[in-house]
A and B are shown apart, each in its own frame.
Chain A
Amino acid sequence: MKEKTPGEKNQRPSALDGKPLSRREFISRVAVGGGAFVLLSGCSRWVLPGPDDKARERIYEYIAVDYTKCTGCRTCEVVCSAFNNPVSLDGQMMPGPGNPALSNIYVHSFNPDVSAPAVCARCADTPCVNVCPVDPDPVTGRRALFRNEKYGTIANDPDRCISCGSCADACRAESVGILAPHPETGRPMRMCTLCDGDPQCVSACPYNALSLIRITSDQPYYRMSPEEVAKELSKRWYDLSA
């Protein structure tokens, strides 16, 4: 299986493009709370007005799933894989054939019928980065796993990664559980890249079940594992024993 490196790909204009933030700035804005959102997103606070103080703590950009629309078709997986694993042909880069095993979004299907796509939540508190045992680089401050400032995505430096698997464990314990060690190299994979600001899964979903939205930390299902999501949806949709 090929491995992804945190290289920048073809640049395209995006709604998310803006002044890049340094890690320090980023963290300070997290600390500031609601103010950070205004700085990050310009004027779109009206999209999801926080109902209370807690909701205003921090706003995230997040690939949210509308589970009532998702049909489990896995189109998101193949377009993610095609975009993030491009192939060079005669010097020209083009989308790859779309092997779902290389996708960063993973659809989990359950019995009774529930399909729960799992995707990196790009957690503000980055449990995966926090546990990375590699010493921060004196210049950049980055560990082997770090937050890429441009879109706030999580990236791994394969040259410094020691394949310990701590990040995947932390993701499983504290968040979605999407990060997984590569079967051969042991280095983490499936960190969402946001496809340079234009997430392919969002635009290609035939059922409009995915959207890149700004949410508050109390968004339902946020950071839940697909198993937890399925358990809850299954109860809501099918459990009529009560």
Chain B
Amino acid sequence: MNLWSAITLGFKEIWSHKFRSALTMLGIILGVSSLVAMSALTAGMEKGMKEALIAIGGLQKIRVERQELPIEQRHLRDQAPGVTMDDLKAIRASAPLIHEISPEMRLQRATVTANGKTIRPFMLNGVWPEAIAMNEHVVEHGRMFNEIDDEMARSVCVIGTETRDELFGDPEKMGHEVIPLGETIYINSVPFTIIGMFQHYESEQAKKIRELKAKEPKVPVVPGAPKRNRGWGGGRQGGFVFYIKNAMIYIPLNTMWIKFKAGNAMQAGLSTTGTPKLDNLQLKIGDLETLTPAIQQVHNVLMSSHKGIEDFTFRTQEDWAEQIANQIKNARLSGGMIAAISLLVGGIGIMNIMLASITERVREIGIRKSVGATTFDVFVQIVVESMVIALVGGLLGLITSFGLVQLLRSLSPTDNAPLITASAMLVAFAFSALVGVVAGLIPAVKASRLHPIQALRYD
């Protein structure tokens, strides 16, 4: 007997017991669809994580920050230089593993006033133009300030969309595009001109949600009703890292120094070496493989330029990425386990039905053997039949999984929309085939071992 007739026979057998087969398949359908849905969930999480990781500049970014001296060096505190422009020059000169370097000076507790509104920006940094590349920023309107702006300490700034929303209005609420180029904002009462604005950063899912919202009709406003704040409506839908990026205000480093820091030199400005203190240095390496040697290199350079005083530390995104990767792994493991168990239960269902089916068909097996079916023929017939049930169930399960994922999406719209991957479908389908074969083995062996005479006499 060839495989093709075995397969058609399997389909016939399923068709002649429609209800029974449907119930048996249900186990496989649920198993396969939950397996696909679970992997879709984790794939969605993974995608969201990757987007967020790219938004903060990737794993290749190292930040050099000031740090309290170790206990045995506390008496040298007044000698500690802090992170300074000297360090930047030293690293540039002596740490070849560092490909990019960008200084950062933060203005804490700044107030920004414009358009009759005052806000406290989440972050106001004095940087070099290099900060754009370092932090994966894209200037959508206007321009980034350049070296000349920095050299001349011009009062110019580049803002993110969140700052724009707060000061000049959200284009979605205003109903028209808001590009405040050329407007003047007052940072701690110092006037600055906006010369550029970044693009709006968000995860792809947040973008989809926003686009969907735009299509929906606006909440009707009852005319004459008093104005009210409808509360926080998921304004940070894009996730925290995107919010931070959008709430950014950049001004030239020199401007930051001259307008805000130099006047207060003794307290926060000048280092013991006489150069301006920085809040941190952002470094970027070329290849993730060189992360550890690069940090070692920078450490050596800084230990030398700081005369052995370890008043700095390194911060990478490894822990963050690892933590998220761990969460995904756990979710995948537990989800996969649950799905595998349901697939297993489905397989047990198939085995059960196949065992019942062969008891019912002992006589048929006897007849087949008497006309020349070999042990192997009978074995193949039963295994193929079990596999056909599993594969049809698996196929239906794949179709069901789309519905299941749609359901998950509508039940809990998150940043990390579940994402059905081809590989997940393939794996789930292969698993259902495997379950079918394994579930068919015992009934097939039982059936094929039947002695033809006893099988023929069976009632």
Chains A and B come from one and the same complex: no
